Chains A and B, each alone.
Chain A
Amino acid sequence: MKLTLKIWRQKNAKAKGSMQTYNISDVSPDMSFLEMLDVLNDSLIEKGEEPVEFDHDCREGICGTCSLQINGEPHGPDRGITTCQLHMRKFKDGDTIVIEPFRAAAFPVIKDLVVDRNSFDRIQQAGGYISVNTSGNTQDANSLPIPKEDADMAFYAATCIGCGACVAACKNASAMLFTSAKVSQMALLPQGKIEASERVLAMVDQMDKEGFGNCTNTGACEIECPKGISLENIARMNREYLKASVK
């Protein structure tokens, strides 16, 4: 496959970036998107040019490190996958592919396609935990019965890998799908109920401080989420927050 890549290049956090065009050939349709970028970088290094910086780690869709806005959509045109799981067979020979970093005030660009997603970590640190010492005190799983439906919903919420696609896809750069998933995975379980009020207040407060936008229920996040986190979580967070604020 021969492709034209339009890639955002930015020297560092303070520099002004711009789109650069690269032509690449010898792309196999079986390559993953990140492998295609590896091939591009090899050729750039051979030419003595600066390779394109991009985030990646596990390359099997579970770590949430890879990002990229590909042709206007986070993680590219496919659904329910991360960029590392996107294959070049989804594109046609001769295609032009536009690759940009995730854009949000709360996700500043560090270099090229790499953005700083520490704002997500700070939201987590604000309340996304339970204050129980579990090391050495693990109790038998059956000692605390949990309805299957609640356990399932908590599990689905917990599948969020914190990649930031929800923010990238949202026209308002809102982090409500992420925050609500992290609120929900705890709020649904008895262990999480004890601190539910403080948790939701603190996490939403942190989310606002980070400068994310507000949810207008367009639903883009749910569709672009590689893990299919449901909008139901946002409604649950809204309920939890309302309950906590009138308490």
Chain B
Amino acid sequence: MAKSALLKSSLAKKYWMAFTGLFLCTFLVGHLLGNLQLLLPVSEAARDQFNEYALFMTTNPAVMILSYVTYISILFHAIDGIVLTVRNRKARPQKYVNFKPSTNTRWASRNMGILGTVILVFIVIHMQMFWAEMKFGSLEAYSTASGAQVKDLYTLTIQSFQDAEYGLIWVIVYVISMIAIAFHLSHGFASGFQSLGVNHPKYNNFIKKFGYAFAILIPLAFAIIPIYIHFGLEKI
């Protein structure tokens, strides 16, 4: 029983949801730190630095393993979320005529599925825009000052958000997605700890506040990047 319990039971699904979710939180931090390089003033050096970083992130074996774990986590988190949502719907086949969840719960906590779907669609768009172009597209390759042979992801990224026709639309899409992530994290971060059984009057307040700070600051920093590239950065 114990073995199947960790795979099949309702609580197991919650553990995996929490575990993958919190892992993805750490991924967000790493991804953000790398992306902040895009805020550097436009120069050959900035271009080389970002493209060499992108090359490292796609070829270093340790990073590659981490990225596969990230893909699996995203998939698992999404599928587990769908399974849980379907089961939860089944648990109340006859709906209430009058149901007032707003009196006792926060909006984000009730709409994790919708927020998650928005985020999943964003991830697909985001990967199609950059990851797929880098991996399968016809990105221009060149030699950096240090002699590394790299694909020019930097120029693609900057141009995508500075594009006269679609640039602003992409900025809006990215900002809306970051708002969805912010709301998702505002419930998900602390909720993950609760699901894993980490709840103690001594630490609850800290986890909650840290979760809110994380939910605001990380998506905000991410959102600043396309906004700055479009409105602030020198055009290339």
Contacts and interface: CB of A to CB of B under 8 A. Distances in A.
B91 A211 contact: yes
B91 A213 contact: yes
B5 interface: yes
B147 interface: no
A114 interface: no
| B interface bracket (residues with beta carbon within 8 Å of A) | 35 or more
Contact of A216 (B11, B15, B109): B109
Contacts of A169: 101, 104
Interface string B100-127: 1101111001101000000000000000
A241 B91 contact: no
Interface string A211-247: 1111111111001100000011011111111101111
Interface residues of A, number: 52
B110 A171 contact: yes
Interface string B181-211: 0000001001100111111110000000000
A34 interface: no
Contacts of B99: 69, 72
Contact of A214 (B88, B198, B199): B88
B172 interface: no
Interface in B1-21: 1-3, 5-6, 9-15
B5 to A, nearest CB: 4
B191 A171 contact: no
B59 interface: no
A112 interface: no
B105 A204 contact: no
Given A172-B88, A207-B10, A242 B196 contact: yes
Contacts of A55: none
Contacts of B5: 201, 204-205, 241, 244-245
Contacts of B12: 245
A215 B109 contact: no
Given A217-B109, A238-B11, A72 B88 contact: no
Contact of B199 (A77, A174, A232): A232
Contacts of B187: 217
Interface in A85-133: 98, 100, 103-106, 109
**Interface residues of chain A: helix, strand, loop or mixed (majority):** mixed
B195 A217 contact: yes
A172 B91 contact: yes
Contact of B94 (A103, A174, A231, A237): A103
A223 B15 CA distance: 24
A214 B10 contact: yes
Given A172-B92, A204-B9, A242 B197 contact: yes
Nearest to B11: A241
A245 B2 contact: yes
Contacts of B198: 235
B2 A246 contact: yes
Contacts of A220: 101, 104-105
B2 A212 contact: no
A238 B197 contact: yes
Nearest to A234: B194
Given A71-B98, A216-B191, A235-B197, A106 B109 contact: no
A72 B98 contact: yes
B30 interface: no
Interface of A: 6, 8, 19, 69, 71-73, 77, 98, 100, 103-106, 109, 169, 171-174, 201, 204-205, 207-208, 211-220, 223-224, 231-232, 234-242, 244-247
Interface of B: 1-3, 5-6, 9-15, 84, 87-88, 90-101, 103-106, 109-110, 112, 187, 190-191, 194-201
Given A232-B200, A240-B197, 9 more contacts: A103-B95, A173-B92, A204-B5, A216-B84, A216-B191, A220-B104, A238-B196, A245-B9, A245-B12
Leading 7 A-B pairs by shortest Cβ distance: A235-B199, A72-B100, A239-B197, A213-B91, A172-B88, A238-B197, A173-B91
